Amino acid sequence: MFETLSDKLSSALRNLRGVGKLSEDNMADALKEVRTALLSADVHFKVARQFVDKVREEVIGKDVLKGVTPGQQIVKIIHDELVKLLGEGETQLNPKKPLKVMMVGLHGSGKTTSSAKLGRLLKKRDYANPHLVACDVYRPAAIDQLEILAKANDLGFTCDRDSKDVPAIGRAGLAAAKAAGSELIIFDTAGRLQIDHDLIEEVKRLRDTVQPDEVILVADGALGQEAVNVAKAFHDALNLTGLILTKLDGDARGGAALSIKSITGVPIKFVGLGEKVEEFEVFHPDRLASRILGMGDVVSLVEKAQEHIDEKEAERMAEKLRKADFNLEDFLAQMQQVKKMGSMQSIVGMLPGMNNVELDDSADKQMKRTESIILSMTIKERRNPQILNGSRRMRIANGAGVKVVEVNQLLKQFQQMQKMMRMMKGSKGRKMMKQMKA
Ligand code: GDP
């Protein structure tokens, strides 16, 4: 999701690569591109302007941090600003129990589906006997749909197919929920194709009757700028407490999420990620910010790398690699550095384009085995792998609790690595190393 925005931001940041210091000059183009990217992702122009001003304030005049490139540093600043804008730590529901939630929104936004999704999710989170109340009296199909979803997910249900008296249906729902010992009551209200006076008045009457603790607007995430106007109108009339952004699985451009939060101040609490009831989750500003940036979690990778990797040690390794005198002892030391950063899954997950790649735990297991093989060697053997004859290999395999073939495999891989390094020592290699450093 949010491909457009992430692609644009990625290219804006790519152009910054190789810049030495953050200045008004070298930032101007990048910031312009960030602004254009936000606008073309349907972010409201006011929000885009404020956002860019804030980022500019943060970056200009700053020294580039040691150990990160200017591009990485800007990604971090933009990321942090996005998280702030999207509402860090604001996604909690009112903790009251029983909790009364009123769902409002335009027709087709995903209200009915989201009512069931929310009931199902909170049931798993210790809300006893969630109850759904069908208050959309104009569309019999909506009542049927809610009933089917309630049954399928084992949720309580109240409706009155013969009545148009919405407050009365609300009261009946409350009574039924109370009798069932329900800790969560969700009122699914009617929508229109656009906001109109009658719709708002009806919802207000229901609100005054049932006194909800949460008034949640369900908004179609694919709406873009229009979603902002919808959210604003509902907020002015009903004082919203939260937002559910639906259909983020489609080609939503991301503007809605940024703009609605920024303009109304109403926190996004949940997101809908598909038609199925389980395709629904609590909103995570930091996750969405990373996704918008489309760079995996480069930010925490940078942070982790800085925290754990000793710069001197890294330089020593680079020097050894350059001279191609990298031995198994160095290999072990490097592996231990990488391990400090977390599991292979967590490291891979932070890399751009790799956040969907699932590793089983075999990568970690393999790393552990390799480590124990090297640890079973004497220092002399680690420094001079060429002395490892058959009997030494057998002893090492026994010590590490692995088969001799695994020791052989490791040594073969290591030999290949050494061969590559020797090749890199030549002029071609120097060019390659330079590229790797840049
Ligand atoms: P309502 O009129 O606001 O009650 O909207 P509905 O709950 O009936 O949803 C309208 C349509 O959008 C239905 O076809 C839903 O299956 C679909 N829908 C709802 N939420 C999502 C979502 O998060 N992703 C996708 N892809 N479809 C959704």
246 annotated binding-site participant: yes
Q: What CATH number is associated with residue 399?
A: 1.10.260.30
Å from CA of 232 to ligand 1 middle: 21
Query: How confident is the model over 63-119, as pLDDT tens digits?
Result: 666 556 666 677 778 878 888 888 876 678 999 999 999 999 998 999 999 999 999
426 occurs within a structural domain: yes
Residue 298 dihedral angles phi and psi, to the nearest 5°: -55, -35
Most confident of 148-157, 289-298, 425-434: 148-157
192 annotated binding-site participant: yes
Residues 272 and 361 both lie in one domain? no
* Residue 16: pLDDT band with limits 50, 70, 90: low
Q: pTM to 2 decimals?
A: 0.66
Tell me if 272 sits within 8 A of 113, measured CB to CB.
yes
Residues 216 and 278 both lie in one domain? yes
Q: Which stretch of DSSP H or E encloses residue 135?
A: strand 131-135
In one-letter notation, the amino acid at residue 42 is D
Question: Can you read off the two tokens belonging to residue 178?
Answer: 């109370």
Å from CA of 118 to ligand 1 middle: 13
Query: How confident is the model over 224-256, as pLDDT tens digits?
Result: 777 888 899 999 999 999 999 998 876 555 667
Q: Give the domain-ending residue among 34, 64, 89.
A: 89
- The protein residue with its alpha carbon nearest to ligand 1, atom 6, reads 110
Residues 146 and 265 both lie in one domain? yes
Pocket of ligand 1, beta carbon within 6 A: 105, 107-113, 142, 191, 246-247, 249-250, 272-275
Residues 190 and 73 both lie in one domain? no
Q: Give the domain-ending residue among 46, 71, 89.
A: 89
Rounded CA gap, 146 and 129, in Å? 16
189 annotated binding-site participant: yes
Å from CA of 111 to ligand 1 middle: 7
Residues 148 and 266 both lie in one domain? yes
Query: How confident is the model over 300-359, as pLDDT tens digits?
Result: 555 555 555 555 666 666 676 666 677 888 878 777 766 666 666 655 555 544 545 566
Instruction: State the pLDDT at residue 395.
Output: 94
**10 Å Cβ neighbour count for 197?**
8
Angle at 261 between CA 113 and CA 76, to 5 degrees: 115
Å from CA of 48 to ligand 1 middle: 29
43 occurs within a structural domain: yes
Rounded CA gap, 175 and 187, in Å? 13
Q: What CATH number is associated with residue 183?
A: 3.40.50.300
Residue 161, domain extent: 99-283
Residues 261 and 349 both lie in one domain? no
Measured from the Cα of 105, ligand 1's closest atom is 3
Residues 105 and 249 both lie in one domain? yes
